[in-house]
Amino acid sequence: MFSTMYRLKTFMLMVLLTVILIVLGGAIAGEGGLILAFGFALVLNFVSYWYSDRIAIKMTKSKPLPEDEAPNLHRMVADLSKKADLPKPDVYITPSQQPNAFATGRNPDNAAIALTEGIVDMLDKEELEGVIAHELSHIRNRDTLISTITAVMAGALAFLARMGRYRMLFGRRNRGAGALIQIVALIFAPLAAIIVKMAISRTREYKADASAAQISGNPDGLASALDKMDRYIQGKDHKMEVNEATSHMFILNPLSREGMSKLFSSHPATEDRISRLQQMR
């Protein structure tokens, strides 16, 4: 039953994002843009489904972490995977001093967890267990494929909007109502990507936090980790150099949140997440 619902949810998301991409492609660049966007969407859906783990790893510049270089960390992942009734995922290291992490893969048998260099250095054992359990929860809840598909499509929408702006500046310009539709589409394209990421990410983070507390048996470990990580990320010049389209995949938004960007964040407020975890004691 779970597998059927997951497949249906994934299929509906792919259809929704494909329709958005095609409609905006037609509005921005006419019939040629419509055809191009349709072909683009088909290729993106195929690639993001079958190669979701490789795409996310490549977009974040993560590298495999050999077991002999971090035996304790691999043992921790293996132990928590067993508690979560999951195969042990591949472990990657992301070259950033910002403490953060994400999971990817189309299913539990093709999954990976990536931890930044900063999170391994900063967190203690219980805190790191909480973070790893959170990422394993995403794998168990089948969030990882949907997350990567959303990242790919969000990147495509941003690319489409950028090409549309170039077309308006240097190409043939629409007139009258066509010009107005084109301008609205250019504004809506990146906004659509943000809205989709928000709708998908916020509820799944709460669910993964709750599942992580059950897997690790220690909600305080994840709560403490979230507090440390959030304080670091909000510090000056602590933003991670990462593609904005992938920001919703991380346990915390790796980009600093100020003003309107905080309002449209793909993640729920960290203090709310900590409060919910503390209530699970």
d(CA 123, CA 230): 12
What are the CA-CA distances from residue 144 to residues 34, 200, 224 (Å)?
29, 11, 24
CB 80 within 8 A of CB 137: no
H or E stretch at 223: helix 219-233
Using DSSP bridges, classify how beta strands 111-116 and 90-94 pair: parallel, antiparallel or unpaired: parallel
State the helix-helix crossing angle for 2-50 and 177-216, rounded to 10 degrees: 120
Q: Distance between CA 122 and CA 120 in Å, rounded?
A: 6
CA 278 to chain CA mean position, Å: 25
Q: Which residue shows structure tokens 């790796």?
A: 254
Task: Give the H or E element holding residue 85.
Answer: none
d(CA 215, CA 95): 27
Within 13 A of 224's CA, how many CA atoms are on the CB side? 14
Instruction: Quickly count: other Cβ atoms within 10 Å of residue 72's Cβ.
Output: 9
> Taking the CA atoms of the chain, what radius of gyration do you get in angstroms?
20
| Nearest alpha-carbon partner for 126 in 207, 205, 210, 217 | 217
| Residue 126 among the catalytic residues | no
Q: Of the listed 67, 126, 129, 135, which one is catalytic?
A: 135
> What is the CB neighbour count within 10 angstroms for residue 265?
21
Catalytically active residues are 135
